[in-house]
C-alpha cells in the first residue's frame, strides 16, 4: 500500500464510513495523501482507508465519504473523497490521540496516566481545568502550563486545517496562518480572505479566491478585483521586475480573474488614486515602495557623486607601488586600474568572474586605506560572504543587515540619511545579490563624502528580490567600471575556473561523463556522473554524499558538502533530495514532529526569512543541536551562534542538505554536487549553471543527463528584468 493506486473499483456508489483512526501507515506532507487504518464502530477489524486529508492524528473519529475499491496487492480498502474529523470522545480514542505525540509534554506514558485518571473527561480537563493535571504524578506547574498552551495552539491549527482541507493548503502554510493570526485565524479566513495574500507568505491569490467565492463574495466585487490586480503586480515583482506596463497588468489581471477588462481598468484607476500603485512613466505602474526605493537610490547616488571626498590626500601611483611591494608580486594592468579608480572615484564598480583577481584588489585597497588611517566598512549580503571577505582582507566585515542595524520595533533600519554610517570608504562584496530595496537602504546610509566600491560578478544570477541594481548601475555608464577578464596563473589550472569562463562563452564542456561512481578521478576538480532518470540521480547524489566523496576526498558531508538543485518539486527536486539525504546522513537523530515539520538533532537547516529579533537572516545555515519535546523548542547552531526557536517559529526553517542555486549566492562550499536533469528544463539556463559551479571552492560534481547540461549552456536567454532605475539615473547627469 505504498502508492496512490486504488486498483479496480468494485462499487463506485458513494458511501459513508465512520470510525477511529487507529494507525497512519503513510502520509505525504506535500499533497496530503493518507494511507491509514480505521477501526469501525461496529467491527473489531481494521479497515484500510486511502485519500487526501489534512494532517490528522491517531485517535480522532473520522467521518469519510467515498467508495470501496480493491487493490491487486493490498485487497479491499475504502477510498475517500471527503473527510470530517471529530475529537475523540471515548477513553480509548483519547488515549490513542494523546499518545501520538501531538501535544508537547504528553507522550505515551503520560497519555496513559492522564486518561487512567480522567477517563473520557480528559480533553475537557486539559481545555478548561488544566490546573488539575497536577493531580497526575510527575506533572508539575510548568508541565501543566506547557500542556495547556500546546493544546490551545493545536486546537487553532486543527481548526484551520479542517477549514482549509478542500483548498489544497499545505500543513506548513496552515501553521504559518496560525502563527500570524493565532486563534483568530479561522475568523480572518472567513471574513477577510484576500487579506492573507499580502500578510502570509506562500498563500496565493487562487487559494484565497477559492475561499472567498465559496463564502459567497461577489465575483466582480471591488475587493476581489483589487486583490487580483495587486496580486498580479506582486507576481511581476516576484519575477524581479520593479515596474510593469499598465496594459500588460490589466490584461494579466483580467485573465486571472476571468473578469471584464473595463472593470479591471476602473479598479486600477481607483488603486492609483488610493496610492496602492503609482505611475513610473506614462502607461507604466509600480509598487509605491519600489518607486520610493528607486528614487532614494538615485537621489543618494547623485549627492554622493557630487560631494567632496573625505579621504586624506593619497598619492595614488605611489600607493599602488607600495601595495604591490607588500603583496610580493606586480599587479596586472586591470588590477592596478581598479585600485586607481576606487581611490579617485566617489562611486566605482569592480566586476569579474572567478580567478580574475578581485580578492587581490580588495586586499591592496584595504591595506592602502588602513595605512592612511581611514575608516573602512566591509559588507556582504550573507554571513558566509562576509566571513570570507574578512578572512581575505584581514579586516572586519559584516552583513548589510547588521551594518544597517535593523530595529524591529520601528520596522526599518536604524542607519539612514539622518543617522548615517561613520566611515570614509564602503566596500560592498557580492553586489549582484543586492535587490532594489536593500541597495536603497545601504546607499542612503552612506555619508555623501564617503567612497563606495561595489564588487560583484555581473554574470551571476540576479538578486532574489526585485531589481537588477548592479547591472543597472553598470548600464547607466555614470560610474567608473573596471571589468576583469584575465585569469591569473594560480587559477589557470583550476578546472572550475576554466569551465566557468567556457560557460560564459557558451562553449564550456564538462569532463566526459562516468557511468559508475568508482570512476571518479580524485585528481580532477570537476566531475560528471551520468544519471539520466530522476531516480538514478537521487540514488547517485545520496551515495556520493554518504560514501564516495567522504571516502575519496576526506570531507565531512554536513559541513564541507552542499547539494545545489534547480527545482524544488519532483523526484529530483530539493524536497525529495532533503528527505533522502536526511535519512542517509542523519538517520538516528532524536526526532520531533512539530505540525507539518520534522526535525532531527543533527539536521542541517536553512533560515528562509529575515528575523531581526534573532539576528538570523534569509540564507543562514545551521545544525540542530537539540529538540525540546516538552516545550516544543528547537536549538540551532548557526556556525557558532546559538539560537532557540519556539513552536510556531520553526516554519522559518527548512532542511538544507539540498538548497536552490539562488539560495547559495554569496556563499562558497568546499564541494558542490549539482543535479542536472531534463526534467529541470524550465530552469536550465547558462547563468544558473555558472552561478552553481562558481560556489565550489575545491570540487564540483554534476550528476545527471549530459544533454541537460548542453541545454543549459545553449540557453543564454534569461528573463530581462523590467526596471526604471537606468532611466531615473539619467537625471543625475542633467
Distance CA 323, CA 307 (A): 27
Mean pLDDT within 590-618: 78
Q: Does 9 score more than 50 pLDDT?
A: no
Q: Which residue in this structure is represented by grid cell 581575505?
A: 392
Place of cell 536603497: 440
pLDDT-derived band at 150 (thresholds 50, 70, 90) equals: confident
Pairwise pLDDT comparison (668 vs 563), residue with the higher score: 563
**Nearest Cα to Cα of residue 314 among 352, 341, 290:** 341
* 23 vs 629, higher pLDDT: 23
pLDDT in tens, 359-385: 899 999 999 999 999 999 999 988 888
User: What pLDDT does 353 receive?
Assistant: 82
Alpha carbons 660 and 303: distance in angstroms, whole number: 38
- Whether residue 9 contacts residue 26, with contact meaning beta carbons closer than 8 Å, is answered with no
SS3 content of the chain, % helix, strand, coil (to 5): 45, 20, 35
Whether the pLDDT of residue 22 is over 90: the answer is no
The CA distance from 439 to 665, in Å, is: 16
**pTM attached to this predicted model:** 0.75
Q: Phi first, then psi: what are they for 474, rounded to 5°?
A: -65, -45
Cβ neighbours of 646 (radius 10 Å): 13
**Which pLDDT score is estimated for 693?**
92
What average pLDDT does the segment 543-562 reach? 91
Q: Which residues contact 563 (CB under 8 A, 6 or more apart)?
A: 541, 545, 577, 581, 657, 658, 659, 672, 673, 674, 675
Please give the residue that has the higher pLDDT: either 393 or 506. Answer: 393
Write the pLDDT tens digit of every residue in 671-691.
Answer: 999 999 887 666 788 888 999
Residue 149 in this model has a pLDDT that exceeds 90: no
Q: Sorting pLDDT into bands at 50, 70 and 90, what band is 95?
A: confident
135, pLDDT greater than 70: yes
Which segments within 431-535 are labelled E, that is strand?
451-456, 480-484, 526-530
What pLDDT is recorded for position 5?
A: 38
Measured CA to CA, the distance from residue 117 to residue 107 in angstroms comes to: 15
pLDDT > 90 in the chain, percent: 41
Choose between 147 and 699: higher pLDDT. 699
pLDDT of 596 > 60? The answer is no
Summary mean pLDDT of the chain: 86
pLDDT in the model for residue 491: 52
pLDDT surpasses 80 at 3: no
Residue 84: partners with Cβ closer than 8 Å, 6 or more residues away: 62, 63, 162
Strand (E) positions, 523-614?
A: 526-530, 561-565, 591-594, 597-600, 604-607
- How confident is the model over 299-312, as a mean pLDDT? 94
What pLDDT score was predicted for residue 166? 61
Mean pLDDT, residues 403-422 taken together? 88
Q: Examine the pLDDT at 204 and tell me if it is beyond 90.
A: no
pLDDT exceeds 90 at position 63: no
Is the pLDDT reported for residue 27 higher than 80? no
Does residue 444 have a pLDDT over 90? yes
Residue 519 in this model has a pLDDT that exceeds 50: yes
pLDDT tens, residue by residue, 622-662: 999 988 766 678 899 998 889 998 877 887 888 999 999 98
Give the mean model confidence (pLDDT) for residues 116-126: 88
Partners of 19 in beta bridges: 40, 62
pLDDT of residue 489: 44
Residue 537, pLDDT score:
93
Closest of 659, 669, 660, 719 to residue 694, by C-alpha? 669
Amino acid at each position: 500500500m505504498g502508492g496512490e493506486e486504488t486498483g479496480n473499483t468494485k462499487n463506485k456508489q458513494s458511501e459513508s464510513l465512520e470510525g477511529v483512526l487507529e494507525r497512519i501507515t503513510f502520509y505525504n506532507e506535500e499533497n496530503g495523501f493518507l494511507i491509514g487504518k480505521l477501526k469501525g464502530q461496529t467491527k473489531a477489524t481494521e479497515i484500510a482507508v486511502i485519500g487526501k486529508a489534512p494532517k490528522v492524528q491517531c485517535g480522532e473519529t473520522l467521518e469519510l465519504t467515498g467508495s470501496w475499491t480493491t487493490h491487486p496487492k493490498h485487497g479491499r480498502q475504502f477510498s475517500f473523497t471527503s473527510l470530517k474529523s471529530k475529537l475523540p470522545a471515548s477513553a480509548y480514542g483519547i488515549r490513542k490521540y494523546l499518545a501520538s505525540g501531538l501535544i508537547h509534554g504528553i507522550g505515551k506514558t503520560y497519555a496513559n496516566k492522564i486518561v487512567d485518571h480522567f477517563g473520557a473527561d480528559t480533553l475537557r480537563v486539559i481545555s478548561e481545568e488544566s490546573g488539575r493535571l497536577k493531580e497526575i504524578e510527575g506533572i508539575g506547574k510548568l508541565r501543566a502550563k506547557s500542556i495547556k498552551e500546546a493544546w490551545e495552539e493545536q486546537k487553532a491549527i486543527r481548526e484551520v486545517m479542517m477549514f482549509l482541507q478542500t483548498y489544497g493548503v499545505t500543513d506548513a502554510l496552515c501553521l504559518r496562518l496560525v502563527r500570524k493570526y493565532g486563534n483568530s485565524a479561522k475568523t480572518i479566513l472567513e471574513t477577510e480572505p484576500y487579506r492573507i495574500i499580502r500578510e502570509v507568505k506562500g498563500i496565493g491569490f487562487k487559494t484565497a479566491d477559492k475561499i472567498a467565492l465559496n463564502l459567497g463574495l461577489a465575483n466582480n466585487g471591488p475587493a476581489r478585483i483589487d486583490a487580483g490586480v495587486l496580486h498580479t503586480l506582486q507576481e511581476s515583482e516576484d519575477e524581479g521586475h520593479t515596474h510593469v506596463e499598465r496594459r500588460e497588468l490589466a490584461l494579466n489581471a483580467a485573465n486571472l480573474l476571468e473578469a471584464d477588462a473595463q472593470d479591471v481598468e476602473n479598479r486600477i484607476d481607483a488603486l492609483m488614486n488610493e496610492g496602492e500603485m503609482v505611475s513610473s512613466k506614462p502607461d507604466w505602474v509600480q509598487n509605491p515602495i519600489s518607486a520610493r526605493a528607486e528614487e532614494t537610490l538615485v537621489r543618494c547616488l547623485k549627492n554622493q557623486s557630487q560631494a567632496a571626498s573625505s579621504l586624506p590626500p593619497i598619492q595614488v601611483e605611489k600607493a599602488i607601488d607600495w601595495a604591490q611591494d607588500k603583496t610580493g608580486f606586480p599587479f596586472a594592468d586591470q588590477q592596478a586600474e581598479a585600485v586607481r579608480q576606487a581611490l579617485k572615484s566617489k562611486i566605482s564598480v569592480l566586476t569579474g568572474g572567478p580567478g580574475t583577481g578581485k580578492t587581490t584588489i580588495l586586499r591592496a585597497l584595504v591595506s592602502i586605506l588602513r595605512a592612511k588611517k581611514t575608516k573602512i566598512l566591509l559588507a556582504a549580503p550573507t554571513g558566509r560572504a562576509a566571513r570570507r571577505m574578512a578572512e581575505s582582507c584581514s579586516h572586519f566585515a559584516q552583513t548589510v543587515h547588521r551594518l544597517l542595524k535593523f530595529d524591529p520595533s520601528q520596522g526599518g533600519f536604524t542607519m539612514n540619511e539622518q543617522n548615517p554610517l561613520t566611515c570614509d570608504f564602503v566596500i560592498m562584496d557580492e553586489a549582484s545579490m543586492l535587490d532594489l530595496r536593500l541597495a536603497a537602504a545601504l546607499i542612503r546610509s552612506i555619508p555623501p563624502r564617503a567612497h563606495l566600491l561595489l564588487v560583484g560578478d555581473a554574470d551571476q544570477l540576479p538578486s532574489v528580490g526585485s531589481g537588477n541594481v548592479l547591472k543597472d548601475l553598470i548600464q547607466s555608464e555614470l560610474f567608473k567600471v573596471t571589468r576583469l577578464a584575465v585569469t591569473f596563473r594560480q587559477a589557470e589550472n583550476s578546472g572550475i575556473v576554466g569551465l566557468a569562463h567556457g560557460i560564459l562563452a557558451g562553449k564550456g564542456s564538462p569532463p566526459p561523463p562516468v557511468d559508475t561512481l568508482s570512476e571518479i578521478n580524485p585528481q580532477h576538480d570537476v566531475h560528471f556522473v551520468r544519471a539520466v532518470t530522476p531516480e538514478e540521480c537521487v540514488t547517485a547524489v545520496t551515495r556520493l554524499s554518504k560514501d564516495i566523496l567522504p571516502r575519496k576526498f576526506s570531507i565531512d558531508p554536513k559541513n564541507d558538502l552542499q547539494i545545489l538543485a534547480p527545482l524544488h518539486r519532483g523526484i529530483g527536486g530539493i524536497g525529495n533530495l532533503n528527505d533522502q539525504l536526511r535519512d542517509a546522513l542523519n538517520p538516528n537523530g532524536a526526532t520531533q514532529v512539530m505540525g507539518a515539520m520534522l526535525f532531527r538533532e543533527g539536521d542541517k537547516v536553512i533560515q528562509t526569512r529575515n528575523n531581526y529579533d534573532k539576528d538570523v537572516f534569509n540564507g543562514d545555515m545551521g545544525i540542530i543541536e537539540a529538540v525540546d519535546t516538552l516545550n516544543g523548542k528547537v536549538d540551532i547552531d548557526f556556525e557558532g551562534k546559538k539560537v532557540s526557536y519556539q513552536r510556531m517559529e520553526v516554519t522559518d526553517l527548512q532542511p538544507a542538505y539540498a538548497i536552490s542555486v539562488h539560495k547559495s549566492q554569496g556563499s562558497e562550499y568546499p564541494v558542490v554536487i549539482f543535479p542536472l536533469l531534463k526534467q529541470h528544463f524550465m530552469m536550465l539556463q547558462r547563468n544558473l549553471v555558472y552561478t552553481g559551479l562558481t560556489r565550489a571552492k575545491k570540487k564540483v560534481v554534476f550528476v545527471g543527463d549530459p544533454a541537460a547540461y548542453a541545454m543549459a549552456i545553449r540557453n543564454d536567454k534569461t528573463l530581462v528584468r523590467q526596471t526604471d532605475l537606468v532611466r531615473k539615473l539619467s537625471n543625475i547627469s542633467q
